[in-house]
Amino acid sequence: MRMGGLAGGLAGSAVAGGLRQATRGQRPRIGELLMTPGNARRIATELARMRGAAMKVGQLLSMDAGDVLPPEIAAILDRLRADADPMPPRQLRDVLDAEWGRDWIRRFETFDVRPIAAASIGQVHRARTKDGRDLALKIQYPGIRTSIDSDIANIAGLIRWSGAAPPGLNLRPLMEDARRQLHEEADYAREGRSLDRFAARLSGSPDFAVPRRHPDFCTPNVLAMDYLHGQPIETLADAPQDVRDGLAARLVSLVLRELFEWGEMQTDPNFANYLVDPSTGRIVLLDFGAVGTLPPDMVAAFRDLLRAGLARGRDAARAAANAMGLIGDANPPRHRETILDMFDTGMSAIRDDAPFDFGTSDLALRLRDRALEMGVERDTAHIPPSDTLLVQRKVAGTYLLAARLRARVDLGEIVATYG
């Protein structure tokens, strides 16, 4: 019903806008009429209300296409990264009654019914137990698991029809990624195990903090963990330069550790997943629902690709790209060469002796333009393996966050350890 209402509202707005243009003697253009700032606000508002798959697709679109969407539209979609409509108190109580029993409130000294965060899969509440534990409780929206597949299909059709996706952006891998990621994020037992592993790896780290899980409050629809203080990392965009540089450098190092040391990566680089503890300066890592295990042969291929890029070895880069499925026989020869050119362009940020200035560089936009040029042609059926795409998304998301911080980082020094 919401999908239909949204589609009707977009169409009505487009018709009204077309009539206004026609009366002024202008020739209406359907793409411009559909994807106006007003319609973008409608889309963002409805996706936030629908939560689940609808909101997740909006999040991915805002990150994957943020550099090519008009700024006013990108800013509106940006709210989907961490802002869903929360459950009403009565619905929240019904969910917790089913998970913990009707007397659950007796286990707490305080329980804040107002969520401190509301995202695509669930919302988070702060509570203090009778034995003094300060908890963050991630509570899943009812019905999310059963609605994922149908919601993905519906919202993909709506985004294509409305023109929210820029021309040339291939939605198919985006939709499949959203579907897979949602099913994984809805599995709170899986997320709890990932949380335990990352907490153990980073225990005692001066750079990062990971919440501990509290199994006695965990159920299939509730994930209980430490409540850790922190401010959203993007709010430090005006902090002193050395602070911003240090944050970005640590995040880049973390990506490399995940890839080359642990073979396991948190693949959702949503900005809302990073807080900064003002008292310690540590980066608080949140949300381990999208953790993926990386096959050893793929990790080896990424290492070979990195080494080839540092040495400017095009043949070696081609072999590594083939090994990881980044390019394949379905790619026309010119596309294979374009992909290798793009890789070499990206490696320039690492080969440069000077710190890379994320805030002033147009590298991401140049690479996006080349990718969209290939996407418009649509004469290839090759899609890289999902593991490769997820690593690319994590790298790209970390780049965007470093750009938001306007950080300057000596990438060559960090990468040298792994090359």
Go through 211-221 and write b for each residue having 16 or more CB atoms within 10 A of its CB, e for each that does not. Answer: bebbeebbeeb
Q: What is the pTM of this model?
A: 0.78
Dump the DSSP string for 100-146.
Answer: H-TTGGGGEEEE-SS-SEE-SSEEEEEEEETT--EEEEEEEPTTHHH
Helix/strand number for the chain, H first, E second: 16, 13
Are the CB atoms for 13 and 39 separated by under 8 Å?
yes
Give the ranges where 186-312 is alpha helix by DSSP (H). 188-201, 241-256, 296-310
For residues 397 and 389, is the Cβ–Cβ distance under 8 A? no
List active site positions: 268
**Can you tell me the distance from the alpha carbon of 20 to that of 358, in angstroms, rounded to the nearest whole number?**
42
Relative orientation angle of helices 333-351 and 363-377, to the nearest 10 degrees: 170
In the block, residue with structure tokens 């993926």: 292
- pLDDT digit string (tens) for the chain, length 419 residues: 554 554 445 444 444 444 444 444 444 343 443 445 565 666 656 555 555 555 565 555 554 444 444 454 555 555 555 555 688 899 999 999 999 999 999 999 999 999 998 777 889 999 999 999 999 999 998 888 887 887 777 767 766 665 555 555 566 776 777 788 788 889 999 999 999 999 999 999 999 999 999 999 999 999 999 999 999 999 999 999 999 999 999 999 999 999 999 999 998 888 889 999 999 999 999 999 989 999 999 999 999 999 999 999 999 999 999 998 888 777 788 888 989 999 999 999 999 889 999 999 999 888 878 877 776 665 555 667 878 888 988 998 899 999 999 999 999 999 998 87
Interhelix angle 241-256/386-404, rounded to 10 degrees, is 170
